[in-house]
Structure 1
Amino acid sequence: MALRISSRSELPSFMVMDVLEKAERMTGLPKPLLRLEMGQPSSPPPKAALDALIKHTHDVSAHGYTLSRGTIELTEAIARHYKRWYDLDIKPEQVLVTVGSSLGFMMAFLTCFEAGDKIAMTSPGYSAYRNLMLSASIEPMLIDINAKDNWRLTAASLEKLDPVPDGLIIASPANPTGVVMSDAELEAICKWCEANGVRLISDEIYHGISFDKTDTCAMQYSSSALVMNSFSKYFAMTGHRIGWVIAPDDLVDPLERLAQNCFISANTLSQIAATVAMDDPATYQEMDSHVERYRVNRDLLLDRLPIELLGQFPYPEGGFYIYADTSALSNNSVELTDTFLNELYIAATPGLDFDDAAGHLAMRLSFAGSTEDMAEAAARLTQWVQSRR
């Protein structure tokens, strides 16, 4: 008799990881493989982090458990970071260090919501939100955004939701659109959540990578919001899997108890490296130089990509993605990304990873790589499109 597999595990594939696996298996190619699929900086981690890793690798104390909420040194460093960047007085006790931000989201879902609750999010939006909700028996409530809305979520659009959701996830800069909320937009959304008893979860993982606006933390407008962040994007430490949650006082203990039982603690050596990097002023100069390269890459692609990829697309104000409109080329983004991978040796992510309804007409291109790779990708795509006009 076959043993049962739970229905909660019947999740949609995280398509970007499928593309990653295909790309990793490609060998002996006639041209270099251009990696525009992953939200992963090609930049190295901060020098201070690398130096700390070398210094502490043979330190036996750096290979054991830490407090489940993270080392005291790292939670204090994160609190100082919020004072520097946002002039916010965050208590170190409000900080919970997680194994990447994804686990932080799962812990927030389990702590704040019951099975059957509804959490609203934008579509297009980061698919792991939706998939993790489903695994926790929480219902995603999708809010369609598009060119008519300037790809923006507003308090006015939230007023139309029926029923009012139990929770709301926002992201700024947003993945995959690159839209950055203004202070006024964020304040209005926070006020709507407070007025309607909606738990706000703010994804601020791409903070620090904004080109035209200043990032604002949701906790500047809401004392009940959960804020998610990570060392993966701005600090370019993706493989170290160090994220964090800033939580209201009443959620700190429940979140910590989950951490104790789920993963005990995040990687100790990586926490040490993250602490040293976050406290070193040189780190921010170093990382800001990478952000300037992302800006150059964005502008290069917008200038050189064929017009067939730049229809009704959101202008990337932050992050490192272009959510390209592929409707002039194909009505099947999965097939089109396969074509780009197999014929052009360009890895990209199909829009269906972010939007079930209209993602078949879109594709996410990451410009977190080198400027040379962006120029080569634009040249290959232009040549391919021109050959089909």
Structure 2
Amino acid sequence: MKVSRRGNVPPFFVMEVMRAAFARERAGLEVLHLEVGQPSTGAPAAVLEAAKAALDADKLGYTDALGIPPLREAIARWYRDRYGVAVPAERIAVTTGSSGAFQLGFLAAFDPGDRVAMASPSYPAYRHTLTAIGVEPVELPTGPEHRFQPTVALLEALDTPVQGLIVASPANPTGTMLSREDLNELAGWCSANGVRMVSDEIYHGLTYGTEAVTAAEVSPGALVVNSFSKYFSMTGWRLGWMVVPDDLIRSVECLAQNLFISAPTLSQMAAVAAFGCTSELDAHVARYARNRDRLLRELPRAGFTRLAPADGAFYIYADVGDMTDDSEAFCRRLLDDTGIAATPGVDFDPARGRRFVRFSFAGSEDTIAEAARRLIAWRAQA
């Protein structure tokens, strides 16, 4: 029987690492989780209370495909209050996580055979989702000289035109960010060349001394994706949103009606309360900042000296080319020898990722401190 080629995409290797880590835990052995991009904290208290109230009311039927009005309005206020940008609630689409947003956005903006550029390294689901819908990912090899971000020069060096550009600031796996000037330059190039910008902003709120700029400020034609998973500490609630340009809103709505019906109703009702929880959430960010400082201080003592600038998110991307040319095997040894789970760079850069490893510092301070101690001891024995 026929099997579609759409599923012929690489696995998400971090999930493979998590499987090995969970197997180790089932065997009664300790694991320090530095592999997963997930806050170690739960949802804010007010969100939990709102969810309990929604359950008690038992009004959890389908919603409008673009989301419940109170949540769309709360998101619009978030852009006004946080960024000083007027975004009508009518242009907000609530989605099943940022993953649902990317699927809807890519389907609405691009046709099979189109080409979409992105930095390499980058979040692997960009490539895999585009590939599954017949759109060609075009990787822009970036390095420290580009701060691991796309540039107009890299785009202009392409032999064949592209129809889209994905930007991420802060980025996964590097944590690097685009300045307002850089984002403006990329947005201007996209506008001049008829290229749709897609801005992944799911790590907004998780920054360390650098201002995060939304593409909604610089490009009215950009698709802007965000999520409740990272800053709002609600990964399992599977809730995200998009700021959708006027010319795509009806397409996104029709696709959402057919593919998802609506985002999870309980999550939507609870998430309205999340925007009043910034004091609690900013305390998490302060902890991430302490974890980041510790790793930036301790990793060089373990021999990890070539690190991407971790301006935001909760990752450090380390060049381990002087230690190994096989980051998958390196991460397996690291887990077996120390109990530390980390993610090999092949997830983010198929061509050069065998010499990179990503460490997440989203865990507790005790976890990060113990991981640093074990890394230093492990490398001392190498």
TM over 0.5: yes
What are the superposed Cα offsets for residues 181-238 of structure 1, whole Å, 9 maximum, x if unpaired? 1110000000000001000000000001110211111011111000000000000000
Of the three residues 346, 358, 380, the one matched with 2:374 is: 380
C-alpha distance in 1 between matches for 2:172 and 2:13 = 14
Does residue 137 of structure 2 align to residue 143 of structure 1? no
What corresponds to 1:294 in structure 2? 288
Size of the aligned set, in residue pairs, is 382
Indicate yes or no: 2:105 matched with 1:127: no
Say whether 1:262 aligns with 2:252: no
Asked if residue 83 in structure 1 is aligned to residue 77 in structure 2, the reply is no
One-letter amino acid of the structure 1 residue matched with residue 192 of structure 2:
A
Match of 1:52 in 2: 50
Q: Does 1:181 align with 2:175?
A: no
The share of aligned pairs that are identical, in percent, is 45
Q: Find the aligned partners of 1:31 and 1:18 in 2 and give their Cα distance.
A: 18
Aligned with 2:255: secondary structure? helix
Bigger mean CA offset, 29-38 vs 70-79: 29-38
- Kindly indicate whether residue 220 of structure 2 is the aligned counterpart of residue 226 of structure 1: no
SS of residue in 1 equivalent to 2:188 = helix
> Is contact 1:155-1:185 (8 Å) kept?
no
Cα distance, 1:366 vs structure 2:
0.3
* Alignment match, 1:339: 333
Conserved in 2, the CA contact under 8 Å of 1:122 and 1:144? yes
Q: Determine which of 100, 107, 121 is the counterpart of 1:103.
A: 100
Amino acid at match of 1:362: F
Q: In structure 2, list runs of 5 or more residues that go unmatched.
A: none
What SS does the corresponding residue of 1:58 show, helix, strand or coil?
helix
Following superposition, the deviation at residue 31 of structure 1 comes to 5.4
Q: Once structures 1 and 2 are overlaid, which stretch shifts more, 190-199 or 12-21? A: 12-21
Distance (Å, rounded) in 2 between the aligned partners of 1:79 and 1:243: 13
SS of the equivalent of 2:79 reads helix
Alignment of 1:302-381 (within 5 A): 302-307=296-301, 309-381=303-375
Residue identity matched to 2:9: L
Check whether the contact 1:308–1:326 (CA below 8 A) recurs between aligned residues.
no
| Residue 21 of structure 2 is aligned to residue 10 of structure 1 | no
Q: Offset at 1:24?
A: 1.9
Could you say what secondary structure the match of 2:94 adopts? strand
CA distance in 1, matches of 2:317, 2:35: 11
Rounded Cα–Cα distance in structure 1 between residues aligned with 2:302 and 2:157: 34
Q: Tell me the distance in 2 between the aligned counterparts of 1:288 and 1:384.
A: 33
Name the structure 1 match of 2:62.
65
Shift, 1:94, TM fit: 0.3
How big is the shift at 1:308?
5.5
Q: Secondary structure at the match of 1:142?
A: strand
Conserved? CA contact 1:309–1:325, under 8 Å:
no
How big is the shift at 1:265?
0.7
2:274 maps to amino acid: A
Query: Separation in 2 of the partners of 1:268 and 1:335?
Result: 42
The answer to whether the 8 A contact 2:51-2:266 is kept is yes
1:63-101, CA deviations, whole angstroms, 9 ceiling, x for partnerless residues? 211111000110011000000111111111101111010
SS of the residue 1:257 aligns to: helix
Q: Structure 1 residue 284 and structure 2 residue 278: aligned?
A: yes
Q: 1:22 aligns with which of 8, 20, 23?
A: 20
In 2, Cα distance between the equivalents of 1:300 and 1:204? 25
Q: Is the 8 A contact 1:14 1:353 kept in 2?
A: yes
Tell me, in whole angstroms, the C-alpha distance in 2 between the residues paired with 1:193 and 1:345. 45
User: C-alpha displacement at 1:27, in angstroms?
Assistant: 3.0
What is the CA-CA distance between 1:152 and the residue it aligns to? 3.0
Secondary structure, counterpart of 1:256 in structure 2: helix
Q: What TM-score results when the alignment is normalised by the length of structure 2?
A: 0.97
For residue 60 of structure 1, what is the amino acid of its counterpart?
D
Report if the CA contact (8 A) 2:303-2:379 is conserved. Answer: no
Which residue identity is paired with 2:369?
A: A
Q: Aligned pair in 2 of structure 1 residues 348, 257: CA closer, same or farther (>3 Å)? A: same
Q: Counterparts in 2 of 1:199-210, with a 5 A limit?
A: 199-210=196-207
The residue correspondences of 1:147-166 to structure 2 (distance < 5 A) are 147-166=144-163
Listed one character per residue, the Cα deviations across residues 27-65 of structure 1 (whole Å, up to 9, x for unaligned) are: 36675311111110012211110111122222221x211
* 4+ residue runs over 4 A deviation: 28-31, 306-309
CA distance in 2, matches of 1:60, 1:50: 15
Task: Give, in angstroms, the shift of residue 358 of structure 1.
Answer: 1.1
Could you tell me which of 183, 194, 197 is aligned with 2:194?
Answer: 197
Using the TM superposition, give the Cα deviation of residue 148 of structure 1 relative to its aligned residue in structure 2, in angstroms. 2.8
Q: Determine the structure 2 residue equivalent to 1:167.
A: 164
- Change in 2 beyond 3 A, CA 1:311/1:304: closer
